[in-house]
Structure 1
């Protein structure tokens, strides 16, 4: 950009913020810091409330509760066993109390709940608790059938109650020690939890203090930024006035440059057009493209896809332009009445706030004509004018796949001139070439437009008959054979010359994966026709039966 005097203005770096203007990055960092501190406060508060909740409502399934409950229930069982032995209680009552003790040992069905800390401190007591369940289960199982009997003084019940009293007294002494140890552990854990809670409250206070400080800094920064924005607005008004003068000067130069560019493009040997995407409004179209489209004057509206003659090419051009925003060197026919080949390139750009297509192209009609001639030479046999081996295999493969895909039959004829070497030896290679051309013309006259004929090499020809069965192919082959047998040609020496052909026929079957296996079957039929006398038509199935 230049100043009104014509001198270039100094460039300003992207990160160079004038003094007195707010720095947005500082505000963003401050907001991020406040948000991070708010998240830290929430996490610390949740952490503290959770610990407080744990201290306020301790979980019942801990070692102290568990061991105390087991001790109390075992004491009740021991007392009740003594009453049963003294005939003051029934065996049924003892069996029910054992069930209660069994439920206390495992209310969840997953075995005794003894913590790792208790196991490390009192391994013997933990082992007693682990072994108590199977012992109680054994007592309960032994007393279950005795509880249904009326008498309580039988010998078996007395033995069981004596065993209960003996072992429960020993276990009770050990459980009392466990209760005291677990109570001590619980007191120590509660003390540690209170210390941790105190530390967390201190951390929460520090985080809240930091959040308060960050909020104060953010408010101060916002107030400062507001003042700076007001000052920057006043500077912007003054800068806008200077900019208006510069824009007027720049606009004048742009108009001069646009006029020069229009002149260059109008006289360019390429085709150029610039048109809006939605409305089709033409901003520019040069004279050469107008003439190639057969128009007397430049159109007011033009949509780029309408330039393309072929619908498939138009679809590919539109998709590429919409997806990538550009097309490079796409060969296409342009024009509606007299289309011509052109190499097109296009870009999706913005003009006056609207999306527009910029297209330019070069006439390649002569190149495409030469390319067609070269393609014809590459696919045609020079002597007979038929498809050569490569072109025949390519097109017959596509036709074979089409018939198989739609469930239509097709057949192949393999044709070979009989004793062709004898013709070359007696009459010369020039006469052999005449025989090949004559045979090619005769075969072509007997075929339909949909049939495919090619020379595979030497005196060998191949025909693909789409939608033809083996029977209909035999009819066509016999017509070709008989026609050749009745045809006479004259040698350069004036002598009449006639020759015959042999034909092998094969129809597409399920085992034919492609055109080449089908050609192999027809070739086998041809070989069999020659081996059995020549001048005949033989189907593959018949040839297989004769071999």
Structure 2
């Protein structure tokens, strides 16, 4: 025989299990006998207690009391007629007899039993009650007739006493027969109770015998189990040593790993394991006792995203986030798992430092979106951001104006003063234009000596003043040239306001370029607006 886990049971265990099965059935039988005995004992006690109730003999007592009171009434009636007793005594005795006959208030149950078992006796008592009521009424209402009432009582008393004596005998016989029946029923119940108690005694003896037998078998089995337990403890100790050695090796490997690793309890935040790399990353001198996973990430949004993914999917892979000390956060590629440790949920997090990769990525992004000479947005980046900004203005029904700025005679500057002077002129113009714009405005170099600025929430009138500031600021610039005296430069500016809902960045740039072409054709160093936009002030 084997255990539920598949391991063989010690010798004798199967036999003990079979004995126990038989013991359970025997115990069930004993319990059933106990219940049966309890029910029989309860019923017997109930019958015995019913015999002790005062109403059991109340019929006999009632009829006997009526007979006694009627005899006293007859005796007082004789004394009253012989003038040996006062009227009040007879009146009082009649009232006592009348109250004795009334069973409705004192013991209604006895009256019901009497009417059911002895109807003739009940009729005799009722007839007596009518006579007594008539006597009491006449005695109280007509004092002059009291002697006649006494004579009437004596006239009927003998007959009534005879009938009541017969009623006493009938009630006595009825009570005796009823008591015999109750005694016979109690005898039968006690015999049944004795049989059940005998069975209970026999079952208890069998149960004690079985329990003693099982105790000896259990003692023998306990010796076998103790020996098996010692062997199991030796195997557990050996396995524990192997696990501890494996954990120590794993801890050494993780401490030597270049990745950051931490294992924390979900509920309490207790740190099961944290390697030295993570401790250094957090800027701590000693490993913390408690640490919650969201505290590692600097961005609250990234923390919520990480925890929601763990709660939903139980794992996260390759999530990029800032972790580490607050004064020196580093970018890491994080992975996490929701696992079970010692029966409780825990978070396992490991990550790799990607700060260098992030810096290179930022530099490449800057190179892809910025002009290398002036640091402004290049044409592609200007068009992307300009499109988004124009869409924003269109959704919120706000004006938007584009400025096209071109350096006058730039080719002549390169030819006469050299390309270095041309580059200096471009950088100086870019600085002057940026100084005249707001933070919300965007500025880009579209190519050569041509710049573009997008002014959101600006109408043609407000953009006109900005364009004039740009033109005047550039006209005051002096570019140092090695070949000649300081160089003066001017710019021409064309502007166009968004006038149609379908006008995009390309359309606005084309309109502003047309205005720029007219400014150059009409003398340069001026600001002109597109003819289709708001009229020039």
TM-score (norm 1): 0.53
C-alpha separation between the residues in 2 aligned to 1:445 and 1:545? Answer: 26
Question: Which residue does 1:321 correspond to in 2?
Answer: 310
Offset at 1:435? 1.7
Moved more, 378-387 or 312-321: 312-321
Question: Which residue does 1:507 correspond to in 2?
Answer: 497
Task: Kindly indicate whether residue 465 of structure 2 is the aligned counterpart of residue 461 of structure 1.
Answer: no
Offset at 1:543? 7.3
Task: Kindly indicate whether residue 462 of structure 2 is the aligned counterpart of residue 472 of structure 1.
Answer: yes
Task: Kindly indicate whether residue 501 of structure 2 is the aligned counterpart of residue 486 of structure 1.
Answer: no
Question: Which residue does 1:536 correspond to in 2?
Answer: 526
Offset at 1:258? 0.9
Offset at 1:472? 0.7
Distance 1:495 1:283, change over 3 A: same
C-alpha separation between the residues in 1 aligned to 2:444 and 2:414? Answer: 22
Tell me the number of residue pairs that the alignment of Structure 1 and Structure 2 aligns: 317
Residue number among 260, 283, 287 corresponding to 1:294 in the alignment: 283
C-alpha contact 1:512 1:518 (8 A) present in aligned 2: no
Offset at 1:243? 6.1
Moved more, 368-377 or 452-461: 368-377
C-alpha contact 2:460 2:534 (8 A) present in aligned 1: no
Question: Which residue does 2:298 correspond to in 1?
Answer: 309
Offset at 1:237? 12
Task: Kindly indicate whether residue 408 of structure 2 is the aligned counterpart of residue 418 of structure 1.
Answer: yes
C-alpha contact 1:266 1:287 (8 A) present in aligned 2: yes
Unaligned residue ranges in structure 2 (runs of 5+): 1-5, 9-224
C-alpha contact 1:524 1:543 (8 A) present in aligned 2: no
Instruction: State the secondary structure of the residue aligned to 1:404.
Output: helix
Distance 1:536 1:238, change over 3 A: farther
Offset at 1:457? 0.5
Residue number among 375, 379, 399 corresponding to 1:385 in the alignment: 375
Unaligned residue ranges in structure 1 (runs of 5+): 1-16, 20-235
Task: Kindly indicate whether residue 409 of structure 2 is the aligned counterpart of residue 409 of structure 1.
Answer: no
**Which residues in structure 2 correspond to 1:46-445 (within 5 Å)?**
246-338=235-327, 339-445=329-435
Residue-by-residue CA offset, 1:66-107 (whole Å, 9 max, x unaligned): xxxxxxxxxxxxxxxxxxxxxxxxxxxxxxxxxxxxxxxxxx
Residue-by-residue CA offset, 1:176-222 (whole Å, 9 max, x unaligned): xxxxxxxxxxxxxxxxxxxxxxxxxxxxxxxxxxxxxxxxxxxxxxx
Distance 1:245 1:442, change over 3 A: same
C-alpha separation between the residues in 1 aligned to 2:374 and 2:237? Answer: 74
C-alpha contact 2:529 2:535 (8 A) present in aligned 1: no
Residue-by-residue CA offset, 1:354-376 (whole Å, 9 max, x unaligned): 12111111222223223222322
Question: Which residue does 2:150 correspond to in 1?
Answer: none
C-alpha separation between the residues in 1 aligned to 2:250 and 2:362? Answer: 37
C-alpha separation between the residues in 2 aligned to 1:541 and 1:245? Answer: 98
Distance 1:503 1:492, change over 3 A: same
Distance 1:543 1:278, change over 3 A: closer
Offset at 1:289? 1.0
C-alpha contact 1:418 1:500 (8 A) present in aligned 2: yes
C-alpha contact 1:525 1:543 (8 A) present in aligned 2: no
Distance 1:509 1:311, change over 3 A: farther
Question: Which residue does 1:521 correspond to in 2?
Answer: 511
C-alpha contact 1:275 1:282 (8 A) present in aligned 2: yes
Instruction: State the secondary structure of the residue aligned to 2:371.
Output: coil
C-alpha separation between the residues in 2 aligned to 1:472 and 1:443? Answer: 16
C-alpha contact 1:387 1:455 (8 A) present in aligned 2: yes
Question: Which residue does 1:115 correspond to in 2?
Answer: none
C-alpha contact 2:496 2:533 (8 A) present in aligned 1: no
Offset at 1:496? 3.5
Distance 1:349 1:458, change over 3 A: same
Question: Which residue does 2:197 correspond to in 1?
Answer: none
Distance 1:472 1:238, change over 3 A: farther
Question: Which residue does 1:224 correspond to in 2?
Answer: none
Instruction: State the secondary structure of the residue aligned to 1:462.
Output: strand
Offset at 1:285? 0.8
C-alpha separation between the residues in 2 aligned to 1:305 and 1:282? Answer: 14
C-alpha separation between the residues in 1 aligned to 2:460 and 2:232? Answer: 87
Instruction: State the secondary structure of the residue aligned to 1:510.
Output: coil
Offset at 1:274? 0.4
Point out the structure with max Rg over C-alpha: 2
C-alpha separation between the residues in 2 aligned to 1:326 and 1:367? Answer: 24
Distance 1:354 1:18, change over 3 A: closer
Residue-by-residue CA offset, 1:288-343 (whole Å, 9 max, x unaligned): 21122122222222111210001222222223323332222222101352211122
